[in-house]
Structure 1
Amino acid sequence: MEGEEERVELQFRVYDGTDICHNNYAASTTIATLKERLVAEWPRDKSVIPKSVNDVKLIYAGKVMENSKALADSRITFGDLPGGVITMHVVVQPSISKKKTEKQEEMPKKNVCRCTIL
């Protein structure tokens, strides 16, 4: 039909093999929007829980998806599998806290003497 936006059915597979957030999404949906939804609907019984969108990486067909791109721009196959569900893999990589790096920089550097005997 004309004027109707193409949709794709997606599910997201997390590190332990379970699938979450199974739903239909419009082709214009951005990867950043998907990540926001994932963080909001993340199951609280998992041992690893993302704290922000920056902690989540989406992988499809072996490639990390870019936040600024829409599903249609990300070369996701629409309509290839009628009634099929496309699975994206979710990797959670918590960002390194700034407090830890600041503490490491504040620690005094020890002078080390090295000798080489020939």
Structure 2
Amino acid sequence: MPEEDLVELKFRLYDGSDIGPFRYSPTSTVAMLKERIVTEWPKEKKIAPKAANDVKLISAGKILENNKTVGQCRVPFGELPRGVITMHVVVQPSLAKAKTEKKVDEAPKKNVCSCSIL
């Protein structure tokens, strides 16, 4: 693939720091980008994804779907040729895990009524 066909992306983290930039083929999928983000995630960060499913990518205000390609996610207007595209990264633990943790934290509370009849 010619060098000029590659798309240059960087990933903006919650604290304003970046991962990348890296060059990708327009046929690379969002799922592939997420795998790379997990691999390249800075070790010193307090919040870190454990798996690619914990990562949400946002570009041009839209959450990107795993099966979409980089070429499909490019915004046709406003992107300069050879410019670096910034995608925002949100770490969100998977829903199943969050529900399990919530159930453990929400132990049933006993209702105690201290009533006295005079």
Please give the range of the TM-score, normalised by the shorter of the 2 chains: 0.7 to 0.9
1:29 aligns with 2:24: no
- Cα distance in 1, alignment partners of residues 77 and 105 from structure 2: 48
Alignment of 1:36-115 (within 5 A): 36-77=35-76, 80-95=79-94, 96-97=97-98, 99-101=100-102, 103=104
- Cα distance in 1, alignment partners of residues 21 and 88 from structure 2: 12
Paired amino acid for 2:35? E
CA apart distance, 1:25: 0.6
CA apart distance, 1:80: 4.0
Aligned residues: 111
Once the two structures are overlaid, the 10-residue window that deviates more, 76-85 or 61-70, is 76-85
Alignment of 1:7-26 (within 5 A): 7-26=6-25
Q: 1:112 to 1:54 in 2, by over 3 A?
A: farther
TM-score by length of 1: 0.76
- Cα distance in 1, alignment partners of residues 51 and 18 from structure 2: 19
CA apart distance, 1:103: 3.8
- Runs (5+) with no aligned partner, structure 1: 114-118
SS of corresponding position for 1:91: strand
- Runs (5+) with no aligned partner, structure 2: 114-118
Q: 1:103 to 1:77 in 2, by over 3 A?
A: same
Q: 1:87 to 1:98 in 2, by over 3 A?
A: same
Whether the 8 Å CA contact 2:56–2:64 is kept in 1: the answer is yes
SS of corresponding position for 2:89: strand
Percentage of matched positions with identical amino acids: 57
Whether the 8 Å CA contact 1:31–1:71 is kept in 2: the answer is yes
TM-score by length of 2: 0.76
- Cα distance in 2, alignment partners of residues 14 and 74 from structure 1: 19
CA apart distance, 1:78: 9.2
